[in-house]
Amino acid sequence: MGAAPSTPRLGAGGAASPGAAEQMFAALVGEKAYPISSEFWRQLLELPLTQQWPRDRVLQACHAFAQNNYHTKHLAKILIHLVWCLQECMAESSVSHAAYRKAINAAYISSIFLKFIIENAKTDNWQELSLEIDKDEKGLENFPSEQSVEYFLMRGVLNYVGSVDVSPESCYLHHELLNLMLVLMSTQLCSGPSPEPKDVHPFIDAAMLQDSSIVSSVVQKLLLNFVKRPRIPLNGSHPAFSDDGGPGVLQRVGSAAANFVLLPYYTFNYLVSSNAEGASSQLAENSLLVLLILIHYRKCIMMSESFPISNVYTNDLNTNVKDAPAFHDNPYYKALSNAKDSQYDRADVEGNAQNWLVVRLSFASLFDALGTCLKDESSVLLLYSLVHGNCDFQEYVLVRTDLDTLLMPILEMLYNASRKTSNQIYMLLIVLLILSQDSTFNASVHKLVLPSVPWYHERLMHQTSLGSLMVVILIRTIKYNLSKLRDVYLHTNCLAILANMAPHVHRLSAYASQRLVSLFDMLSRKYTKLAELKNDKAIKVISDQIEADISDDTSTELHIYTDFLRIVLEIINAILTYALPRNPEVLDFFNSRMDMQQLDGEWSVDKVLEVINKNCRSWRGEGMKMFTQLRFTYEQESHPEEFFIPYAWRVVLSRGFSFNPGAINLFPVEIHVDDEPSGEQKV
C-alpha cells in the first residue's frame, strides 16, 4: 500500500474495483486527515470487501494507521460513523442491504485497528487511541457535546445489541458487534491481576455508565442469544456483502468465525465445525463471552477520590474504610442477579415502579440451555454466576425434579478431571457446594434413580441414585486431587459437599458405601505415615535449617490430614446417626443380628436385606456421640475480581480470541517466538 492520491477514486459508476479498494485503505491509514463529513467515509464503508491481503501487509497498514492516527483522528471518526450506521439501521422499518453493509464494515475495520493499537500501546491511559476530537468540526453539530467518543460508541453499540432481535438479516452485524466489544474490552488484558485505581479502560468503563434501561436490555438479549442459539447461515452469502450477493466481508463465515477476509489480522482464530450445530452456536458463544466480561468487571477507586454522587455507576461502594480500595457497583452483574422468570406473574410484588427495567426470561429455557452446554467452560461460569448471585434462579434450580439435567454433565466433567483445568474443577465443585447447602436438594438427589451411567467405566452402574453417583464422583475427585493436584482448597470443597449431603443420605449404594470407607482407610494410612515421620524427626537432632523446614512441612501436612480425617469421620457418623434407617448397606452392626436369625433354607440377598431393614428400625446409636450436623456454606472471597476477571479472559482466549502474549499482564502466559506478530515495531 503505497502513497494514496488526495482523493480516492472509485470505478465506473461508483463501483469498487480492486484498485479502488486499495486506494481507499491506503487513504484510511495515510497521513491525510479526512473530515468526518467527507464523502470518503461513505465510499469506504460501502465497499464490498472481497479481497485478501497477506499478514505482513495488514501489519504494515496497522502500523501506518496507528502512527498517523495521532493527527488524522481516523479511529474516532470511523467509530462515530459506526454509531451513525447503527442508528440508521434502527431507524428504518426495512433496513437496506447498503445500511447493513456500512455498519458491518465499520465494526469490522474498527476492530482490526483497535486491537492492534491496544496490543501495542505504550501508555497506561491509551493516548494512542487519540479519541479526542474537535466537536466544532463540520458534521458534528448533532454530536452530544457532553459525551466522549468512547461513551457515544458504547451507547450506540449496546443500544443496538439490546434493542434489535437477531434475524437472518441482522445476524452478521450482531456477530461483528460482539467481536468488536471483546476487542474494546480487551484493554483489561494489559492490566495487572489486581484492579487498581490508576487502571484505565475507556470502553468498558463507558459501558458501565450507561442507563439502566440499556444495561437490562443488553443482559436480557445476551442471555436470550445463549438460550435460543440463533443460527448464522452456513453459506455466508448475504446481499450486504457484495453487489451481486456473492461472498464478501464475511466470506466463509459458516466454516470459520475468524472470517476476516480483507484484513486477515489475528483477531479471532476460531476453528468451528462447518456443520449446522457449530455454525448456530457462534452468536450464542460470543454473546456469553461478552456477558461474562461485563458482569465480572470491577472498577477500583480510592475512597479519598472525588466522584459525582449522582452517577449511577458510583452510588454503591462496597467499603467505608477511608483511603482503602473500593469498587463501583457493576450494573450488569446487578441486572443478572435481579433477573426474573418470565413464566411467573409480571406483577411487581414489591411495588417497584421500575418493573420494566427487570431482566425477564424463561428460567426453564435457561436451565435446559445450561444443561446442554455445560461441557463448555463459559457455561459453567454462567451457571456459577446465576446460582451464586441470583436467588430466584437458585430457588428455581432447587425445585426442579430433573436435577440430573444439570448434575450429570457436572459429574461427568469431574469424572474426567484429569482433562480439566484446576479452575474448571473449582467452579464445578463450588456450584455443587452452593446447591448442597439446601436440604431439599440433598434429599432430592437420593430419590432420583439413574437407569445407567454410560460414561462411568470402572464398573457398571445400573439403577443407582444420583446422590450415590455424586458420592462416588466426589470421592474419586478427592483421590485424584491427593495424587495429582494436592490442592487443599479443592479437597475441602469436596468434603464440604459430602458433609452437607450426609444427614440426608437415602439408600446409598453398596459401591458408594465402599468408596466412602476406602476414603477413610486411605486418609488414615496417610495420616499414620505422616505421624510416624514426624515422630522420627522429633527424636533426631536437627542439625541444619533444611531439616527444620522439612519438619515444619510435615507438621503442616499432618495437621491438614487430621482435619480431613475428622470431617470424614463426622460424615460417616452423620450417616449412621441421622440416616441409617434409610441406608441398609451399612452392615457392621447387623452381623450379630444375622447370626441370631433361624431361617429354613439358605440365605439370599433379598432375605439379608429384609433382616437388615427390619433391624434398621430398632437401631439405637446410644454408643455414638451425637455431633451437631456439619453444614458448610460457600462464601465468595473478599476480592473475587482477582480470580474472576483473569478467569473470564482465559475463557475468552480459549474460545478463539487471540491476543499478543507479550502485551498480557492480567495473568502469566508463555511467550513463543511464533506468537509475536511478524515485523513487530514500536508504535
Instruction: Give 351-384 pLDDT, tens digit per residue.
Output: 444 445 799 999 999 999 999 999 999 999 999 9
Does 673 reside within a domain?
no
Residues of the chain with pLDDT below 70 are: 1-18, 49-52, 234-280, 302-325, 345-356, 536-552, 579-627, 672-683
Closest CA to 363 of 323, 332, 336, 325: 336
What's the CA gap between 341 and 397, in Å, rounded? Answer: 12
Does 435 reside within a domain?
yes
Predicted local distance difference test score (pLDDT) of residue 353: 41
The region that residue 534 occupies, defined by phi over 0 for left and psi between -120 and 50 for alpha, beta otherwise, is: alpha
Q: What is the pLDDT of residues 609-631, one digit of tens each?
A: 565 456 555 555 555 555 677 78
- How far lies 167's CA from each of 98, 231, 321, in Å? 17, 9, 49
What's the CA gap between 617 and 609, in Å, rounded? Answer: 13
- How far lies 48's CA from each of 1, 101, 262, 432, in Å? 19, 8, 10, 51
What's the CA gap between 649 and 330, in Å, rounded? Answer: 17
Q: Are 50 and 242 in contact (CB under 8 A)?
A: yes
Does 275 reside within a domain?
no
235 and 374: one domain? no
Q: What is the pLDDT of residues 533-581, one digit of tens each?
A: 877 665 554 444 444 444 567 778 888 888 888 888 888 888 877 766 6
Closest CA to 461 of 501, 399, 524, 514: 514
What's the CA gap between 468 and 464, in Å, rounded? Answer: 7
DSSP 35: P
Predicted local distance difference test score (pLDDT) of residue 487: 86
C-alpha cell at position 43: 465510499
228 and 171: one domain? yes
Predicted local distance difference test score (pLDDT) of residue 595: 54
Q: Are 280 and 232 in contact (CB under 8 A)?
A: yes
What's the CA gap between 492 and 484, in Å, rounded? Answer: 15
* Domain of 440, in residue numbers: 362-543+553-618
Predicted local distance difference test score (pLDDT) of residue 534: 73
Does 611 reside within a domain?
yes
DSSP 504: G
Q: Tell how far CA 81 is from the center of its chain.
A: 31
Does 629 reside within a domain?
no
Predicted local distance difference test score (pLDDT) of residue 116: 94
Does 437 reside within a domain?
yes
Write down the pTM of the prediction: 0.84
What's the CA gap between 167 and 179, in Å, rounded? Answer: 17
DSSP string, 625-683: --PPPP-------S-THHHHHHHHHHHHHHTTB---GGG--SS-----GGGSPTT----
179 and 40: one domain? yes
287 and 398: one domain? no
What's the CA gap between 444 and 435, in Å, rounded? Answer: 11
Helix/strand/coil for 564: helix
Domain count for the chain: 2
Predicted local distance difference test score (pLDDT) of residue 581: 66
Predicted local distance difference test score (pLDDT) of residue 611: 52
What's the CA gap between 209 and 294, in Å, rounded? Answer: 12
Point out the domain boundary residue: 565, 597, 618.
618
657 and 613: one domain? no
337 and 368: one domain? no
Predicted local distance difference test score (pLDDT) of residue 296: 96
3-state per-residue secondary structure call for 476-489? HHHHHHHHHHCCHH
499 and 569: one domain? yes
What element of type H or E holds 97? helix 97-120
523 and 612: one domain? yes
Does 267 reside within a domain?
no
Q: Which residues contact 373 (CB under 8 A, 6 or more apart)?
A: 226, 379
What's the CA gap between 420 and 416, in Å, rounded? Answer: 7
368 and 337: one domain? no
Q: Is the dihedral of CA 314, 319, 322, 326 positive or negative?
A: negative
Q: What is the chain's alpha carbon radius of gyration, rounded to the nearest angstrom? A: 30
The angle subtended at Cα 41 by Cα 37 and Cα 43, nearest 5°, is 125
Does 655 reside within a domain?
yes
397 and 300: one domain? no
333 and 442: one domain? no
Q: Is the dihedral of CA 323, 327, 329, 331 positive or negative?
A: positive
Q: Which residue has cell 458408594?
A: 512
Q: Is the dihedral of CA 632, 634, 638, 640 positive or negative?
A: positive
What's the CA gap between 370 and 382, in Å, rounded? Answer: 8
295 and 408: one domain? no
Q: Which residues contact 635 (CB under 8 A, 6 or more apart)?
A: none
